[in-house]
Amino acid sequence: MESITEQLTTALSIMLMGMGLVFIFLSLLIVGIKVVAKLFPVVTTQSPSTVSVGSKPATTQLEPALVAAITTAVHQYRTKAN
């Protein structure tokens, strides 16, 4: 049977080795993520910066049956909520 000092020394060395391995793994993970972020940048689309104030957006025609169904659903929801 080992003495308590030897057991504590062994436990401390195992703990430090485990913490070191986790630190190394997380460091490599962060570096890997940064490398991937540099290799594959996020593509953003920019909206046109010149928008005329008086222009109306292009509207699409909705079917009257769909508009009626949505209106009925909203009306039922509002009367049910009260």
Q: Distance of CA 73 to CAs 8, 21, 64, 66, Å?
A: 69, 58, 14, 11
> How far is it, in rounded angstroms, from Cα 53 to Cα 59?
16
In a domain, 29, yes or no: yes
Look at the chain and report how many structural domains it folds into.
1
| Domain-located, residue 69 | no
**Does residue 37 lie within any of the structural domains?**
yes
Q: Which tens digits make up the pLDDT trace of 12-33?
A: 999 999 999 999 999 999 999 9
74 falls within a domain: no
In a domain, 59, yes or no: no
pTM: 0.48
Please report which confidence band the pLDDT of residue 53 belongs to, taking 50, 70 and 90 as the band edges: low
For residue 9, is it within any domain? yes
Does a structural domain hold residue 67? no
Residue 82: both structure tokens together: 């009260």
- The residue range of the domain holding 33 is 1-42
Does residue 68 belong to any structural domain of this protein? no
Percentage of residues of the chain with pLDDT beyond 70: 82
